[in-house]
Amino acid sequence: MEHIVTESANHPAPEATALSGAEWQRRLEKIAADPRMSEENTTIAKSPIAVPLFFAGLVATIVSVISGFSMSGHGMHMLASIEVGLFTALAISLGGMFWVMVFHSLNAGWSITLRRQFENLGSVIWFPAVLLIIIALIEVISGGIMLKWIHHEGYNHLLHVKEPYLNSSFFIIRVLVYAAAWIIISRCFIGWSKKQDETGDRRLGRKSRRVAGFAIPVFALTTTFAAFDFLMSPDYRFFSTMWGVYYFASCGLAGASGVAIIAYFLRRAGKLEGLVTSEHSHDLGKLVFAFTVFWAYISFSQYFLIWYSNIPEETAWFYNRQEYGYNWLFWVMVIGHFVFPFLLLIWRQTKRSLNLLAIMSVYMIVMVALDMVWILRPMADFAATSVDGSSIVRIALDLVGIFGILAMYFGLVAIKVSKGPLLPLKDPMLHEALKHKNYV
Amino acid sequence: MKMINDFMTAAADYFPMLIGKGSPKFVTSSGKPVYGIVAEFDETPKVFKAAQHVRDAGYTKWDVHSPFPIHDMEEAMGMKSTKLPLMAGGAAIAGVATAAALQWGTSFVLYPTVVQGKPFEAWQPFVPIMFELGILFTAFMCIFGMLALNGLPRWHHPLFTHDRFMRVGNDKFFIVIEATDPDFDPSKVKKVLEDAGGTHISLIEDID
């Protein structure tokens, strides 16, 4: 076999780039000279409602906690409604993180002008992650509020068998690992992206792509097991191997929806003019649409297999919810989380108009929150022996708990968005996003 | 009414007996009807500008032929978006409805059947079939609807009688304005194509 021999000095090194340094500098200059990349168009002052929103959420959460403890039998109820808000916020952040990694690993060009918003959503994950640790500690110290398996009287064979996984110390370790993994991953990606804004070092893009490949499995495992620990184990008899994917579907959906909402507010403030167009809105809408369908596919598959196989400990999960006051929510999920948004988002015009897409995105996040209500909230009702207060008071307690966490979260997101440029300024793929167009 | 007309015209590609053919507006010296007038172009930018010119002249029944797809040509030609998505949506609804009717009709209404002790009126087992049949009908509509809207399959095309047209598979671009266009007038069309920068403008006879 004939070998082609070149001098090693002429051979491209593994880290060599296809574009020469001079060409890259020219491209950077061209992008910097683009009128759309003016500082006025790519930065935003802090929203005046961001801090008040955060404190409104804080007050609501405090009210929720106080009333939960002062009304007898509502401790679990209060925690369930706070967790509904928490897991909705976590889904948005995890979704933002997930899409950043997907865009990096697929070398996506169209999404660059939107990517900073995905990164912002991802980097706010410290808030739900820290809350998750606090809730885990409260659960363990109090002997189990939502997580009844933490403490149980007498011998329970099922818990005895599940002991190697469902025990307090391993649970705390797991939660710490999830939180650390999420915070580190999201910090890394936004950190490199912001460093690139300043230095224009295009090798950071390659580094992100390389790391994204390893970070996606970490994301997948931590998300799956976090969903097992907090969303599945409140009913420790129940098990579903689909559970991680089920929560991940909500993550992807909520992340894309969250960015659509941020993009709408930025465009309304007159920012990102010509940088986020109906073409970007169209592609973002496709993600929202795809994950609406994906969620329906996943959750119906799970429901369908449980319904058909009719194994008592699995079927009980659905049976209890449908028989004891939550059948309406089942149909809200079928119609409201799938059929209705499917029929609206399938239209090209809905996706191409950022205003319509933002309305649909708010609606989808409400649906994700209702999905969390469907998962978490009935557990408090099943466990309750006696409850205070009329149904209006109880619904108010739900709303305050959910609103509190989400308001604090969105306040933090709004503060985060105003820090730094609204898009990666020197990304190697930015030129593709600037002239992005859908030909279908 | 216009939709029915359009549909009949499309269907007449396959079943000529569906519509009575009126006498052609223009005939050549040999008595054959005129198919259209073709002009040749050398470069992509030229044919792109020419397409915009023809669009602005107000013609509706015309086409650009190119060896490769040209981005934004649909805008330059002023093409309306296709009806195919609506047709596919209709097919999807028909598929879901067929599956629902077949399953409910047979195993709940006509001959109630116990399967695994599940209730007769259970909707859950029917969903996968509704999903699959919806997709099947949609896929068929996409393929066959696309072929029908393109007038395919067909044995021959009047343009193939034009020898120069064979280079459309190689390095030439062509614009054809068809005689079915309401504004078709041979001398005016030739003028428009000349203004657009076309060369080798010639008249194409219809096959029969």
Establish if B127 touches chain A: CB-CB under 8 angstroms. yes
pTM of the model: 0.89
Band (pLDDT 50/70/90 cuts) for residue A13 is: low
Measuring CA to CA, how many Å separate A202 from each of A100, A179, A383, A428, A433?
17, 29, 55, 6, 16
What average pLDDT score do residues B65-72 get?
A: 92
* Residues belonging to chain B: 208
Give how far B124 is from chain A: nearest CA, Å: 7
What average pLDDT score do residues B139-163 get?
A: 89
Q: Which of A308, A346, A439 sits opposite B71 (nearest CB)?
A: A439
Tens-place pLDDT, residues A273-292: 999 999 999 999 999 999 99
Between B68 and A325, where is the model more confident?
A: B68
- Whether the Cβ atoms of residue A230 and residue A83 lie closer than 8 Å to each other: yes
Q: Is the pLDDT of residue A46 over 70?
A: yes
Q: Is the pLDDT of residue A99 over 70?
A: yes
Cis peptide bond upstream of B153, omega within 30: yes
Asked if the Cβ–Cβ distance from B116 to A308 is below 8 Å, we say: yes
Q: Is the pLDDT of residue A18 over 80?
A: no
Residues of B (26-45) whose Cβ lies below 8 Å from A: none
**What pLDDT is stored for residue A200 in this prediction?**
85
Q: Which residues of A touch B124 (CB under 8 A)?
A: 303-304, 307-308
User: Percent of chain A, pLDDT > 90?
Assistant: 69
Residues of A (420-439) whose Cβ lies below 8 Å from B: 437, 439
**What pLDDT is stored for residue A365 in this prediction?**
96
Residues of A (330-349) whose Cβ lies below 8 Å from B: 346, 348
Between A251 and A385, where is the model more confident?
A: A251
**What pLDDT is stored for residue A68 in this prediction?**
84
Band (pLDDT 50/70/90 cuts) for residue A438 is: confident
- The CATH code of the domain at B26-81+151-205 is 3.30.70
What average pLDDT score do residues A98-114 get?
A: 94
Measuring CA to CA, how many Å separate A429 from each of A62, A73, A116, A433, B46?
45, 56, 13, 7, 31
Indicate where chain B has its CATH 3.30.70 domain(s): 26-81+151-205
Establish if B68 touches chain A: CB-CB under 8 angstroms. no
Between A210 and B11, where is the model more confident?
A: A210
Establish if A55 touches chain B: CB-CB under 8 angstroms. no
What average pLDDT score do residues A150-163 get?
A: 88
Asked if the Cβ–Cβ distance from A303 to B89 is below 8 Å, we say: no
DSSP letter for B33, please: B
Least confident of A110-119, A342-351, B109-118: B109-118
Tens-place pLDDT, residues A309-330: 989 989 999 999 998 889 999 9
Asked if the Cβ–Cβ distance from B127 to A439 is below 8 Å, we say: no
Band (pLDDT 50/70/90 cuts) for residue A302 is: very high
Q: Is the pLDDT of residue A64 over 80?
A: yes
DSSP letter for B62, please: E
Band (pLDDT 50/70/90 cuts) for residue B22 is: low
Q: Which residues of A touch B71 (CB under 8 A)?
A: 437, 439
Tell me which amino acid residue A247 is.
Y
Q: Which residues of A touch B116 (CB under 8 A)?
A: 308, 310
Band (pLDDT 50/70/90 cuts) for residue A387 is: low
- Whether the Cβ atoms of residue A84 and residue A372 lie closer than 8 Å to each other: yes
**What pLDDT is stored for residue B144 in this prediction?**
94
What average pLDDT score do residues A15-37 get?
A: 85
Residue B75's closest chain A neighbor by CA?
A439
CA pair distance B56, A195, nearest whole angstrom? 50
What average pLDDT score do residues A2-15 get?
A: 69
What average pLDDT score do residues B8-22 get?
A: 71
Beta strands in B61-137 (DSSP E): 62-65
Asked if the Cβ–Cβ distance from A439 to B124 is below 8 Å, we say: no
Q: Which residues of B touch A346 (CB under 8 A)?
A: 89
CA pair distance B11, B17, nearest whole angstrom? 10
**What pLDDT is stored for residue B15 in this prediction?**
74
Asked if the Cβ–Cβ distance from A307 to B116 is below 8 Å, we say: no
* Cα radius of gyration rounded to whole Å, chain B: 24
Band (pLDDT 50/70/90 cuts) for residue A386 is: low
